[in-house]
A and B are shown apart, each in its own frame.
Chain A
């Protein structure tokens, strides 16, 4: 290969062995636009070249799975002829550079995956990790990200129904912005990306193409260095108004209009959409780049091919109905143009001024990236235990401290920026229950959805931390009466080129795979974002888990706020030993320490009990113990419901670890006293330890163990601590 061509390829992010592979496969030197095509498509972001083989460890089949990995968005059967299509996507690097637009385009991008599946989006959720709020740069990023998610979601008219926000110094400079979208589609309304029908038209629809995010996919796959500011031209601008028009136009454009296949233009834009559609269909595609609607003058063909301008779709349409299709989109105020043809022979070709500038095997472009087998460290460095600290005698001080901790404290002030009722489907929105609950049209049936990630646990043990994330998702869904049925995963990791980070990646995927097998559920697809690191090191491995389950009767869903005169039942077996936890971090001042305590089987047993009891209409309040442990869970229920509780019981082991430790399979249930006996009997037959420990009422939360009172605090004080983060100015 000519040195200048070789250097151009390297500058675009291709590796020397990849350049060699390209030349060997083609049997000739690639053209410059062809190099750009490979650089985009063979980036980590598009090709998953470092993670692909390991992702196969995860189970990906279930009878109710209507679309699995490899689809635009996975889809599960939720009954009454409806499917829910859902997927998670990361926009970490764009959000680090330009928080508002990075987050906004992240939301826009994941919505287009759901739309491409044929589903009308019905919700957005997000899982965010920021540096600590006292750091001005982290605060700037957090505020921009929240505003961007709100700005796009509110305007396009989708409720943001919850999520998770973590503040941790290990995300300083490399925030994680993962957005999840879900939509409803009739079983027979699902769409495919498989191009078919030689001679059919390839139609471009949406915003015109500019020099936005040129090689953004390659950019997402490099570490954020000091020169990040120089990469600013990569950032795309989101336009929810065009996004909304395009959404309506696409959802109204089906097979009855001659639509054969569709795909959104996301990472690597036109190239990705066209080469993948051709490869999936076993056909070729010819593109005439001159026909692409352009926003800027003087664009080079390679820029048109790899631009990541937002709000664009590619369709394959029956040839004779192409003109009609263009009119359809124009009616909705959306640009559309016939830009190509489906061809025989599996070539991905692009023409510019009549000259062939790209002529490649589509499958080589879409799926041909050589796998990268990075070396793995044989073992991971051990994590030190927490330094010793004395147990408090009274729990009020640590409890109030924990309740005000960013990441545990109430986020109502943040969620007020998001519309969570538009669309009239939201049965439980943010903070109203452990998971969001949406109803199906004209039905009392619905589905529950949650998103979580436990990076702080994965930092210590990526395998167990991944299991813990699945466990938390299982419990969250169970607390609204839904059995976990499928997940979408968003894996956020450090650079796999580092053997230690690469080993952690294996551990994360192994944890997810083993957890899914234990729960007997599939992954439906997801996202992998690697190279999340700054000069200070890699982020903790952070797999985000978006999980879904069916709610048979939305009128029976418990709330996450306590009401008066309920019997309080503690389910599960808390352990009073030191473990990696929010409490350990706060009490010791160390970010990580100890072991990770996880027992997925216990979560599964607890979940079965909760789902059965909720379906029988017995449960008024259900809240699982997550970060902060069982006392924080109870205190949050009191604070939200503005009601006190009196709890009495004895236990073994250290007071603080018992109440603040994070044990799997633990939850509080509040039932009307008449249901208490029946619930305890159900628990017994489900193999879940359960004890009735007290009642709700009054204006204080009081806990007695034997003769001594270990906590006696007013609800006002709890609320003040829990609601305090608004004043501190976190996001």
Chain B
């Protein structure tokens, strides 16, 4: 068994309305910043996973995302898994 550091990013599924992203983008434009376009606002989660292999750790993360952390109606995710 080894410990893997996992950094999970959860973001709005493409096409699904993202009111947060729109509001932040609107506020950025309110500052008259012209060279920045905000696309999406999501969430970040950092965790440790004990597993036999990187694949095993990734499976555990996928499972957890499916069961709890990610709302498949609205969100997608990407996970970075590194051995610590």
* A interface residues, Cβ below 8 angstroms from B: 97-98, 101, 207, 210-212, 232, 235-237, 239, 241-242, 295-296, 309-310, 333
Contact = CB atoms under 8 A, between A and B. Distances in A.
Contacts of B42: none
Interface string B9-34: 00000011111001100100000000
A242 B16 CA distance: 15
A296 B22 CA distance: 14
A210 B19 contact: no
Contact of A237 (B17, B23, B72): B17
B74 A237 contact: yes
Interface string B45-77: 000000000000000000000000001111000
A101 B19 contact: no
Contacts of A333: 26
Contact of B15 (A98, A211, A236, A310): A211
A253 to B, nearest CB: 21
A664 B16 CA distance: 49
B17 A98 contact: no
Contacts of A207: 17
A498 B18 CA distance: 40
A239 B17 contact: yes
A296 B15 contact: yes
A210 B17 contact: yes
A237 B19 contact: yes
A98 B19 contact: no
Interface of B: 15-19, 22-23, 26, 71-74
Contact of A241 (B19, B72, B73): B19
A97 B73 contact: yes
Contact of B23 (A210, A232, A235, A241): A241
Nearest to A309: B17
B23 A98 contact: no
Given A241-B23, A333-B26, A101 B15 contact: no
Nearest to A333: B26
Contacts of A101: 73-74
B37 to A, nearest CB: 15
A210 B22 CA distance: 14
Q: Which 5 pairs from chain A and chain B are nearest by CB? A: A239-B19, A237-B17, A232-B73, A98-B73, A235-B73
Contacts of A241: 19, 23
Given A101-B74, A239-B17, A296-B15, 17 more contacts: A98-B74, A101-B73, A207-B17, A210-B15, A210-B16, A210-B17, A212-B16, A212-B17, A232-B73, A237-B17, A237-B74, A239-B19, A239-B22, A241-B19, A242-B19, A309-B17, A333-B26
Contacts of B73: 97-98, 101, 232, 235
A101 B17 CA distance: 11
B13 to A, nearest CB: 9
A212 B22 CA distance: 16
B40 to A, nearest CB: 13
Nearest to B26: A333
Contact of A232 (B19, B22, B72): B72
Contacts of A235: 73-74
Contacts of B72: 232
A296 B15 CA distance: 6
B60 to A, nearest CB: 21
A37 to B, nearest CB: 22
A632 B73 CA distance: 42
24 contacts: A98-B73, A101-B73, A207-B17, A210-B15, A210-B16, A210-B17, A212-B16, A212-B17, A232-B72, A235-B73, A235-B74, A236-B17, A237-B17, A237-B18, A237-B19, A237-B74, A239-B17, A239-B19, A241-B19, A241-B23, A242-B19, A295-B17, A296-B15, A309-B17
Nearest to B13: A233
A137 to B, nearest CB: 13
Nearest to A296: B15
Contacts of A211: 15
